[in-house]
Structure 1
Amino acid sequence: MESFKSSIFKDKALKALSGKWKPSVIVSLVTMLIIGGSIAFQHVSVLLYYAVFWLFGSIVSIGCAYVFLDLYRDKKEPRVADLFTPFRQYGRIVTCYIQVLMFTILWSLLLFVPGIIKGLSYSMSYFILKDRPELSPAEAIKESMRLMNGHKADLFILQLSFIGWTILGLITVIGFIWVIPYINTSIAAFYEQLRNKDTGSLNTVTE
């Protein structure tokens, strides 16, 4: 049985990033600038902020996750241009993003904890959209729920393990350009292990 210990994914991430930190940091910096730029719109108009962030900034953040999935999976050197690959399937990505956001908010209205649990359940939806273009956003969300069954706590612990790095990033700000590649590549390693553990039922979407 494959282990889902956080230390394993973090070690795999560091190995994948070895020799590729410079392009990774550049991609991370551009991602931060784009998201930061979209947040700046809230001083102009709250409505404009949500429009820009949801329809552009959030898609770039998903593109960042894709960049580090490709790095982990194919040893592909990170490129800024690849941040924008999700725009090739913009409609699917935005629809999935809105559905995940709404489902998570609705569950959070019950209690805070159910919102966290559901957020973890839906967390692999964007990777699945990338790997399985034949699936609709709703089907990708269902598939994410299936893959994450029994592994939500594993991902939660992995995310918690980065609290120290995140605090350091908040204090220094510039530190985030190293933290973002580390976190994203670790989560990519987690997703790959989920896929490898799966026994071929990725070909069938289940409830």
Structure 2
Amino acid sequence: MLYPLIIGYHWVILSIVRGQDVQFRDVFRPMKERFGKNVTAVILLAIFQTLWTLLFIVPGIMKYFSYAFTYFILRDEPELSVMDSITKSRTLMRGQKWEAFKLILPFIPIYVTGFTLFVVVDSVLLSALSLSIATILVRPFVVARFAVMYEDSRRAYDEQWNKPA
């Protein structure tokens, strides 16, 4: 049940970036619309990212950025299959992975602090608090920035491929 809410969260942030009116119930839209497709997308992304991370951490991070637009594409183009949405996300993200990495770079110390508190201090409470704060404060910023990047990439893609012949 949580996976469609994650997608709904992305959809709401995209609506806010586009300047559309948003209500709290919009977070639940993916549960009502194409539930199976949305859950399949989350599961496939998790599998792909895990497999790429098994090769080495760097390919996993690169694929995380490559797949960052998938949830937005599922919203804008419901006729696409999950695999086509993932492929289009990779296409739209081409050449922007470094910019996306620079976006999250300042927030890595927050997560490292939480992990360190867990491993070194052996304090589950402190690490959970640190990671929760990081997630609550950082996640909306990162998703909003990805939504802005998606809008820019989408505009450039449409200009490139939708020109009259």
Superposed pair shares fold, TM > 0.5: yes
Alpha-carbon spacing, 1:114–1:172, altered in 2? closer, same or farther (3 Å): closer
Q: Distance in 2 between matches of 1:181 and 1:152?
A: 19
Matched residue type, 1:126? Y
Alpha-carbon spacing, 1:186–1:102, altered in 2? closer, same or farther (3 Å): same
Q: Is the 8 A contact 1:62 1:86 kept in 2?
A: yes
The unaligned stretches of length 5 or more in structure 1 are: 1-55
SS of the aligned residue for 1:74 comes to coil
Q: Is the 8 A contact 1:107 1:114 kept in 2?
A: yes
Q: Is the 8 A contact 2:10 2:143 kept in 1?
A: yes
Q: Distance in 1 between matches of 2:45 and 2:139?
A: 22
TM-score after normalising by structure 2: 0.76
1:151 to 91, 96, 99: 96
Is 1:190 matched with 2:149? yes
The range that moved more, 139-148 or 175-184, is 175-184
- Cα deviation for residue 103 of structure 1 reads 1.2
SS of the aligned residue for 2:58 comes to helix
Q: Is the 8 A contact 1:125 1:141 kept in 2?
A: yes
Residue in 2 aligned with 1:84?
28
Aligned residues: 147
Is 1:132 matched with 2:77? yes
Residue in 1 aligned with 2:118?
none
TM-score after normalising by structure 1: 0.62
Q: Is the 8 A contact 1:165 1:179 kept in 2?
A: no
The unaligned stretches of length 5 or more in structure 2 are: 115-127
SS of the aligned residue for 2:78 comes to coil
- Cα deviation for residue 162 of structure 1 reads 3.7
Q: Greater relative contact order (Cα 8 A, min sep 6): structure 1 or 2?
A: 1
Q: Is the 8 A contact 2:110 2:130 kept in 1?
A: no
- Cα deviation for residue 61 of structure 1 reads 1.6
Compute the RMSD of aligned alpha carbons.
2.6
Residue identity (%):
37
- Cα deviation for residue 200 of structure 1 reads 4.2
